[in-house]
Amino acid sequence: MLGRRLNEQLTATLLDVFVNWVEQRLTHMGKKDMLLGELPDLRDTQSGKDLINIGRHEGQQEGRREMLLTLMKAKFGELNAGVVARVEKVASVSGLENIAEQVLRVDSIDGINWSVEA
């Protein structure tokens, strides 16, 4: 799961942040200076801060997804590929949390209301 590809929207956002960072660098110095000079710490730039925030959000979401799958396996046993795919498609942290709360209350996977995942 951790090795899965980023979705297209996230990839586009990360690319925009990176391009924005490069463009900011080019306005302050020439290309030669940019390539040979010392670059600022990425954490000190707005683009770097944006990338860190995106990474934190993605990490939180992935961590909740992994925990939900662990919880489901502990309660219901081995999960089929369809259930894992459903969990993988949940797009929000709140949706993952909602499903985790349901897992605690239902007796089988069939009792999960997947329509409230968003």
Would you say 109 and 73 are in contact if contact means Cβ atoms under 8 Å apart?
no
Q: What percent of the chain shows pLDDT beyond 70? A: 77
Identity of the amino acid at 97: E
Q: Which residue has the higher pLDDT, 14 or 70?
A: 70
Would you say 79 and 72 are in contact if contact means Cβ atoms under 8 Å apart?
yes
Q: Which long-range contacts (CB under 8 A, 24 or more apart) does 27-34 make?
A: none
Q: Report, as an integer, the average pLDDT of 19-29.
A: 69
Q: What percent of the chain shows pLDDT beyond 90? A: 36
Residues ≥6 apart with Cβ < 8 Å to 108: 76
pTM: 0.59
| Domain layout of the chain by residue ranges | 8-116
Q: What is the pLDDT of residues 50-87, one digit of tens each?
A: 877 777 777 788 888 999 999 999 999 999 999 999 99
Instruction: State yes or no: pLDDT of 4 exceeds 60.
Output: no
Q: Is 37 helix (H, G, I), strand (E, B) or coil?
A: coil
